[in-house]
């Protein structure tokens, strides 16, 4: 029997075990608990452009492939910027929105996107989604922050884009001083001075997992998160109920790094983790203290990875300042199916030029490694 594509506007309609077995990983961002929690906790709002439209490929009633997918009526919260594409569509008299996006909302984190029991099922899912996009008359179908190994399921009709993030890799260091000893004298000295300044200013740190966090810890972390958005004039998408949901349903995946001063929490970073990777997500602070951001978001996380034996630390998108603190440039991948073939052909040279620029940028960054033996780092 041929496989059929089924669409759903809620992951509550999909048993968690069936969804999670398809991606076969402990990446927290594609877990059923994480994605369904966004829906249940009021984080995804059509007014902000996010409407769940998940793709399920079924054969004989069995789920054989799936994708976390959303109808997008703007490009809010995606981190793969296509505003120029939208403007170009308007200039030609076409509508760019709605578009169909395979991604994790508000999370520029690489991980499984085309979930499938086999390579064949993955390719069937891709073809079925392309046909559905064309049947709707929507402009495009996008897959953001997919792992490089999944790109093979997408043929040459998909436009390829690259970007750069900064990731930390464990190189067998025993502890933080051992990590610092691998760096150049200039960078080692600067980091020690930053950390010492934070210590002299009276800050201490407490790290708790979801099942160790009190209601007050979660509320404080959400307040810090909201402060960051208020400072930038933006609206926070994630609710306190979502933070509480993560603590309840993903208790050991949620990691809070809380900075304390004079007996109370004054800043924090919310992270998620898998068996081998720490993912820095959100930060906020009541205090504007030199070095507090670097200590809370980077150095405490590296220390945590070294203690826990984690191999990677991905602290979030963008930020060249991360390079000097031991985070090295890595490529991220996205793929884009533009249903209008003429428009797709017009965009292809632009994408090729962008990829060349990103690769040159990555190569330039690699020349400024903070480590004494740059060849020994990934």
Class of domain 171-310: alpha beta
- Residue 203's beta-bridge partner residues? 261
In percent, the amount of the chain with pLDDT more than 90 equals 95
Q: How far apart are CA 310 and CA 28, in angstroms?
A: 15
* pTM exceeds 0.75, yes or no: yes
Terminal Cα distance for the chain, rounded? 46
Instruction: Quote the DSSP letter at residue 371.
Output: B
Q: Is the pLDDT of residue 375 over 80?
A: no
Residue 277, burial from CB neighbour count under 10 angstroms (0-12, 13-18, 19+): buried
Q: In the chain, where are the structural domains located?
A: 4-164+330-366, 171-310
Spatial CB neighbours of 209, under 8 Å, sequence gap ≥ 6: 251, 252, 254, 255, 256
Confidence of residue 372 (pLDDT cuts 50, 70, 90): very high
CATH of domain 4-164+330-366: 3.40.630.30
Domains 4-164+330-366 and 171-310 share a fold: yes
| Percent with pLDDT over 70 in the chain | 98
Full 3-state SS string of 286-303: CCCCCCHHHHHHHHHHHH
Task: At 148, give phi and psi (nearest 5°).
Answer: -60, -35
pLDDT at residue 231, as a whole number: 85
Q: Residues 1-32: pLDDT tens digits?
A: 689 999 999 999 999 999 999 999 999 999 99
Extract the tokens encoding 108: 């520029």
Asked whether the beta carbons of 300 and 257 are under 8 A apart, the reply is yes
Query: Residue 117 phi/psi, 5° resolution?
Result: -75, -20
How distant is the alpha carbon of residue 24 from its chain centre?
Answer: 18
| pLDDT tens string 139-161 | 999 999 999 999 999 999 999 99
Q: Averaged over 248-277, what is the pLDDT? A: 98
- Give yes or no for residue 289 having a pLDDT over 90: yes
pLDDT digits (tens, 9 = 90+) for 40-66: 999 999 989 999 999 999 999 999 999
Give long-range contacts, CB 8 A cutoff, 24+ apart: 341-346. 343/88, 343/89, 343/92, 343/94, 344/157, 344/159
Backbone torsions φ then ψ of 250, nearest 5 degrees: -130, 55
pLDDT tier at 34, thresholds 50, 70, 90: very high
Q: Considering just the CA atoms, what is the radius of gyration of the chain in Å?
A: 21
């Amino acid at each position: 029997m041929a496989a059929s594509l089924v669409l759903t506007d809620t992951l509550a309609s999909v048993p968690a075990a069936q969804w999670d077995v398809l991606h076969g990983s402990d990446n927290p961002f594609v877990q059923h608990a994480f994605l369904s929690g966004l829906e249940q906790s009021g984080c995804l709002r059509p007014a902000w452009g996010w409407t769940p439209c998940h793709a399920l490929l079924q054969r004989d009633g069995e789920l054989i492939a799936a994708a976390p997918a959303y109808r997008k009526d703007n490009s809010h919260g995606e981190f793969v910027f296509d505003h120029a594409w939208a403007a170009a569509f308007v200039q030609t008299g076409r509508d760019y929105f709605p578009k169909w996006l395979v991604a994790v909302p508000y999370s520029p984190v690489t991980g499984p996107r085309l979930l499938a029991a086999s390579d064949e099922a993955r390719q069937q899912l891709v073809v079925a989604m392309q046909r559905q996009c064309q049947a709707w008359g929507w402009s495009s179908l996008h897959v953001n922050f997919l792992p490089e190994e999944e790109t093979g399921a997408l043929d040459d009709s998909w436009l390829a884009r690259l970007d750069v993030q900064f990731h930390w890799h464990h190189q067998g260091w025993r502890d933080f001083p051992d990590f610092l000893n691998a760096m150049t004298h200039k960078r080692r000295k600067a980091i020690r001075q930053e950390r010492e300044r934070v210590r002299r200013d009276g800050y201490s740190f407490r790290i708790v997992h979801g099942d160790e966090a009190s209601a007050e810890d979660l509320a404080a972390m959400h307040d810090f998160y909201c402060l960051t958005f208020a400072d930038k004039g933006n609206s926070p998408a994630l609710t306190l109920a979502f933070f509480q949901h993560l603590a309840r349903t993903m208790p050991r995946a949620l990691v809070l790094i809380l900075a304390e001063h004079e007996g109370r929490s004054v800043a924090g970073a919310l992270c998620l983790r898998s068996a081998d990777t720490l993912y820095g997500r959100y930060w906020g602070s009541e205090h504007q203290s030199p070095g507090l951001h670097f200590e809370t978001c980077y150095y405490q996380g590296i220390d945590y990875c070294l203690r826990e034996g984690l191999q990677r630390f991905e602290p979030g998108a963008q930020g060249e300042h991360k390079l000097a603190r031991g985070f090295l440039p890595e490529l991220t991948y996205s793929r884009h199916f533009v249903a209008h073939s003429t428009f797709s052909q017009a965009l292809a040279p632009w994408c090729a030029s962008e990829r060349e620029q990103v690769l040159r940028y990555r190569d330039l960054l690699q020349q400024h490694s903070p480590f004494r033996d740059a060849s020994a780092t990934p």
